[in-house]
Structure 1
């Protein structure tokens, strides 16, 4: 059996090309196996030389590819470790509620008109509103304490909801009444003489800052009492204040009173108390 190889001139040309590729900046080891024709009569030819030749060719190809690939520099940033010193402290919170009699009554009064057309309803409503405003101002209410909170015009449907039977217009006014002890008389005048309907009264403060400041001072005192108790229990001394945070401030007025249009003469309206609640957080150092 005969195994044919490449011609000597072809083999020489390939070897020259391989050496030239290595000289162009690729440092590598070169494997060369003569591939002269081998003829063995009467015997099987071993495949080992062929396998070695293939392995050498693959090694050369890998070296050439690696040589053409650009270099990459990996830099690992240095980790900067900063340590923060945690000072020992006592963290507390305090709450306080201040209840005071309100000094402001907010009266919401509505008036309405229903006519066959929207224009007629608005015209009638305008007349009624002018009468109501005149009566309110006669009570001594300043312009800054009187305002509109709602105005609405729309159709009125039959019981089946298919037919329009008329149009209704409504106007909602808001009055700030600064004497809560006489608000009953004001309501009587607004309803009986001014024609107002859907009357609602709520109470509050004209300026809540005074009550809030008192509640805040009490809340801070509550936080200090808690911190002192914690320090005593831990066997340490309470130091100076590190930080104070105002967590929440809320006002809880009495429930609004809805009177409708049935207000009796000299109606007595219970005023009640308004609660102002403040929550704080106070951090103390350990001295």
Structure 2
């Protein structure tokens, strides 16, 4: 899954790249060329450079829920609340998850229906659901955590997402890769046209979001104690990516 690096401010600086502490060597003091009207477009080349870096995630975001059915809405809600309270206690006291890393993601109580040609649609009972959104940082124990949650009453996982909490630490590397790619493309184009690449005239970086790799367990129901083996969960790697649009002078 391709994801994007947290955006830095777009730049439009004559002869200079400054982004996350990165700059183009030798461009800082270069003079800005002056062109007559219409000449500018004849003496520039614009390319898009891509940079990508694969890193190991350092955080998991989990959505774990409890669904309970009963004859009445009150019974369903009450029974579900008891299970969620036990699950929350387990997560905090046994697994050391802080209050700030647990919050309610979804809660509802709704009727369940049956249908027959004779009686039409009839309410057969009620379902209560309460899901918890969690942040967990020991990625080696995510599978064990899911097993423990299942044993405590959780019977639904909406999804598991892996990410990095500090993408800024990789920003310079990804931007440098994108700049290197842009330099190569510009050089190839200039060579094909029997020209030479001059100074950088402008740079802009594409907007992006937080990098996330998702293992989607949407609508998956967990069966407690169905297997003695720990639930296998592999965090894999996440791809940080950015693009730079760079305009160069052509000599």
Q: Which has the larger displacement, 130-139 or 270-279?
A: 270-279
Deviation at 1:244, TM superposition (A): 0.7
Structure with greater proportional helix content? 1
User: Matches of residues 59-138 of structure 1 in structure 2 within 5 Å?
Assistant: 84-87=37-40, 88-138=43-93
Give the match's secondary structure for 1:121. helix
Q: How far apart in 2 are the matches of 1:141 and 1:243?
A: 47
Alignment deviations for residues 25-73 of structure 1 (CA, whole Å, 9 cap, x no partner):
xxxxxxxxxxxxxxxxxxxxxxxxxxxxxxxxxxxxxxxxxxxxxxxxx
User: Are residues 1:269 and 2:233 paired?
Assistant: yes
Give the match's secondary structure for 1:270. coil
Alignment gaps of 5+ in structure 1:
1-82
Q: How far apart in 1 are the matches of 2:50 and 2:208?
A: 10
Residues 161 and 212, structure 2, Cα contact 8 Å, conserved in 1: no
Residue equivalent to 2:6: none
Deviation at 1:131, TM superposition (A): 0.5
Residues 212 and 277, structure 1, Cα contact 8 Å, conserved in 2: no
Residues 109 and 129, structure 2, Cα contact 8 Å, conserved in 1: yes
Residue equivalent to 1:79: none
Q: What is the TM-score when the length of structure 1 is the normalising length?
A: 0.65
CA distance change for structure 1 residues 121 and 252 in 2, over 3 Å: closer, same or farther? closer
CA RMSD of aligned residues (A): 2.1
Q: What is the TM-score when the length of structure 2 is the normalising length?
A: 0.74
Q: 1:256 aligns with which of 196, 216, 220?
A: 216
The number of equivalent residue pairs is: 204
| Higher-Rg member (1/2) | 1
Residues 154 and 169, structure 1, Cα contact 8 Å, conserved in 2: yes
Residue equivalent to 1:207: 166
Deviation at 1:229, TM superposition (A): 1.8
Deviation at 1:196, TM superposition (A): 0.5
Residues 160 and 215, structure 2, Cα contact 8 Å, conserved in 1: no
Deviation at 1:232, TM superposition (A): 2.3
Give the match's secondary structure for 1:163. strand
User: Matches of residues 162-181 of structure 1 in structure 2 within 5 Å?
Assistant: 162-181=121-140
Alignment gaps of 5+ in structure 2:
1-35
